[in-house]
Amino acid sequence: MTSRLRRAVDNVDLQRFRFWFQAAAFVLFVYGGYLAVDLGNSLPMFSCGYNQEGRAGVCYLLPLQHQLSRPWPQLFGWAGIGVLTGFATFFLWFIVLNKGWCGFMCPLGTLQDWLTSLRKRLGIRYSLYGEQAFNRLTWVKFVLLALMFLIPLAIGGGLLSHDWGAPFCQICPGRVILPLFTADPLQLTIDYSSIGTLVLTGLGMFIAGLFLVGAFIKKRFFCFFCPMSALHYLISKPALLKLKKDGDKCTKCGNCFNVCDMEIRAIADDLERKDIMTDDCTLCLKCVAACPEPGALKVEFARINIFQATEEGFLKRMNKGAGHDACKR
């Protein structure tokens, strides 16, 4: 890339760019259905399938859980091909943006970022987990991922009745909140028809309430427990978009950790690892924007360096950030 173009990209005001990108993605994935946009049903982020008319494609977790809950003879027989093609499509979508899907495209993530900016405007402090809580809670998403596989398989095997179908979707705040954006309050219910649905829809509603408060107080609250993020991480090795760190240039000033929504310590403390994206990361790239050391943190798409930390870019963003917010009060 010519150096002038590179300088322009490195000096980008990431906050503004990401805000508009997320807004566009939100409109696409929540209202795309009205424009007859249909990107299939293997999307790697929460374009919720319950938002019947508006959705531009279905989040892969819904069809995955349906396919897995087919009776075993079918599932491990001819229906298995359906599962594999579904996963292959999901994988192809995923490797393009890696976990950038969470940071830039996911409507639920965007919703949480909007809640965060609302809190910021109201002048309310955000909360942090602290290292101990972080280390314990980072496992929850893998537990949820395992349950999301096991429960449908149990249904297929006849161990659980069909009321447990699509278990994660029933407790996911996305199912309850995203359809509200297309004026469809159908999901705001507790289903008493059986134990399974009662427990799951009850949990779903409670978690929706918890989600609203959590996302308001803690930045990207739900992404910390999201099984999709866990699934992403398991298959993130061959992805094209990568977050790279050069330990030698790092002065361990901790700026990247300071701005990280997900409160990841490894970004600042780990000097050996080159591919620095951890399981919690959403590739929102705020760390690269906050790094003053040229070339210490950079984003590569198929090994082409598309955005990297530069001193000039850092100063421009800091001055703008200061000026931008200072005039508010």
Partner 1 sequence: MTPANVDTLPFNRGRQAREAEVMLDKLVDEFTDNPAAMAYFYDLFRRVYIQGEALERPAAPQVGMTCIQVPEELIYAVGATPVRLCNGAYHYDQIGADFMPAKSCSLVKATLGRLQDQEMGVPRVGKLDMIVNPSTCDQKKKAGAMMEEMGYAVHHLEFPNVKESEAARIYWQRSVRDFAVQLQKLTGKRLTRKRLNQAMARTRRAQTAFRALHNLRKQAPSVVLGKDVFLVTNAYFFDDLERWTDAVEALVAELKERAAAGFNAAQRKAPRILFTGSPPVFPNLKLPLLIEEAGGVVVADETCSANRMLYDMPVVDEWLVNHMVDSLADHYLKPCTCPIFTRNDDRCRRLLDLVRDFEADGVVYQAYSGCQVYEMEQRSVGKVLNEAGIPMLYVETDYSPDDMGQLSTRIEAFLESIKTRKRQRAASGGQA
Partner 2 sequence: MAKATLSKHLFAALLLGGTAALAWAEAAPGDAAARHAPWGDGPPPWVKDGQVDEAAKAAYFARRAQADQAATPSAGAAAGRPDADASPEAKRAYWQKRAAERAASAPAGDPGQADHAGHAGHTGMAPAPAPAAPAPRWGGGRDALLWLTDSPPRRGGHAGGRPGGGRPGMTGMAGMAGMAEGGPDAMASKRVWLRAGANPLDAHPASGDETALLQGPDGKAAELPVEAHGGPYNVTFPTPEQGYYNVYLIRRILDQDALEVTAAKAEVTRAGMGHGLSREDNARLVPARTDARVPVEIVRERKDKEALFTRVSYGDAISFQVLRNGKPVQNARVTFTSGQGWSHSVQSDEDGRASFTVIRDYYPDEWRLFDKRHRETWLVAASFTTPEAGDYQGGRYARTRYTATLSGAYYPGVTDYESYSDGLLVGLAGLLFTGTGIYAYRRRRVQPYKEVRFDD
Tell me: does residue 194 bind partner 2 (CB under 8 A): yes
**Residues 115, 111: Cα–Cα separation, whole Å:** 6
Minimum distance from CB of 312 to partner 1 (Å)? Answer: 10
Instruction: Please tell me the distance from the alpha carbon of residue 60 to that of residue 168, in angstroms, as a whole number.
Output: 12
| Binder of partner 2 out of 14, 45, 148, 208 (CB under 8 A) | 208
Radius of gyration of the chain (CA): 21
Q: Quote the CA–CA distance of 302 and 135 in Å, as a whole number.
A: 31
- Pick the binder of partner 2 from 162, 252, 273, 324 (CB under 8 A): 162
Please tell me the total number of residues recorded for the chain in this structure.
Answer: 329
Q: Which of 75, 207, 228, 276 binds partner 2 (CB under 8 A)?
A: 207
163-to-151, 153, 173, 193, 194 alpha-carbon distances in Å:
11, 13, 19, 8, 7
Tell me which of partner 1, partner 2, none is bound by residue 17, counting a contact when its beta carbon lies within the kind-specific cut-off of 5 to 8 angstroms: none
71 lies in the site for partner 2, by CB under 8 A: yes
298: contact with partner 2 by CB under 8 A: no
With CB under 5 to 8 Å by kind, the binding choice for 2 among partner 1, partner 2, none is none
Out of partner 2, partner 1, none, what residue 138 binds, judged by CB under 5 to 8 A for its kind, is none
* Angle subtended by helix axes 140-156 and 61-68, to nearest 10: 40
Single out the residue of 127, 135, 251, 258 in contact with partner 2 (rule: CB under 8 A).
Answer: 127
Tokens linked to 69: 């809950």
User: Bridge partners of 242?
Assistant: 300
Number of residues that bind partner 2 (CB under 8 A): 57
Alpha helices in 32-79 (DSSP H): 61-68, 72-75
Cβ 226 to partner 2 shortest distance, Å: 13
**CB of residue 223 vs partner 1: minimum separation in angstroms?**
16
Which residue from 237, 220, 161 is spatially nearest to 193, judged by alpha carbons?
Answer: 161
Does position 164 interact with partner 2 (CB under 8 A)? The reply is: yes
Rounded to whole angstroms, the Cα distance separating 221 from 155 reads 30
Point out which residues bind partner 1 (CB under 8 A): 120, 123, 125-126, 130-132, 248-249, 251-255, 258-259, 268-269, 271, 286, 290, 292, 311, 314-315, 318-319, 321-322, 325-326, 328-329
Examine residue 37 and tell whether it contacts partner 2 (CB under 8 A).
Answer: no
SS3 of residue 302 by DSSP: coil
Q: Looking at the DSSP assignment, which residues form a beta bridge with residue 307?
A: 299
What is the contact surface with partner 2 in residues (CB under 8 A)? 66, 69-71, 78, 123, 125, 127-133, 136-137, 140, 143, 147, 155, 158, 160-162, 164-165, 171, 176, 185, 188-196, 199-203, 205-210, 212-214, 217-218, 221, 225, 329
